[in-house]
Amino acid sequence: MAVTEVLPGSAADSAGLRPGDLTVRDDECLVLSPVELGTATSVGQQGSQVEIQLQRGGEMLRVFLPRGPIGVKLESRSVAPSPVG
């Protein structure tokens, strides 16, 4: 999923997400839809954090977001798989 907008003052903004970032995984699960990301960030113990792995300019990054709304707009985007090895 591609981040198209980050709402100012949101959890995503505080964590440093940027438009163009590609969300790849939440904790250990692939993120294939906005619903999956929303579920991953809202299910669980309130006050805990969820790890989101994202790709930015070919680099893999990890950010930690609090459970709940994160404040991004997303769109589906096909991405070629990374080579294994």
Task: Identify whether 10 is part of a domain.
Answer: yes
Task: Identify whether 13 is part of a domain.
Answer: yes
DSSP letters for 28-45: TEE--SHHHHHHHHHSS-
Task: Identify whether 68 is part of a domain.
Answer: yes
Q: pLDDT band for position 50 (50/70/90)?
A: confident
Choice between 51 and 44, residue whose per-residue pLDDT is larger: 51
Q: pLDDT band for position 1 (50/70/90)?
A: confident
Residue 60 lies in domain: 2-75
Choice between 26 and 20, residue whose per-residue pLDDT is larger: 20
Q: pLDDT band for position 38 (50/70/90)?
A: confident
Task: Identify whether 85 is part of a domain.
Answer: no
CA distances from 72 to 77, 79, 81, 83, 84 (A): 15, 19, 24, 28, 30
Question: 40: domain CATH number?
Answer: 2.30.42.10
Task: Identify whether 34 is part of a domain.
Answer: yes
Q: What is the mean pLDDT of residues 34-39?
A: 73
57 forms beta bridges with none
Task: Identify whether 61 is part of a domain.
Answer: yes
User: How many domains does the structure of the chain reveal?
Assistant: 1
Task: Identify whether 81 is part of a domain.
Answer: no
Choice between 46 and 12, residue whose per-residue pLDDT is larger: 12
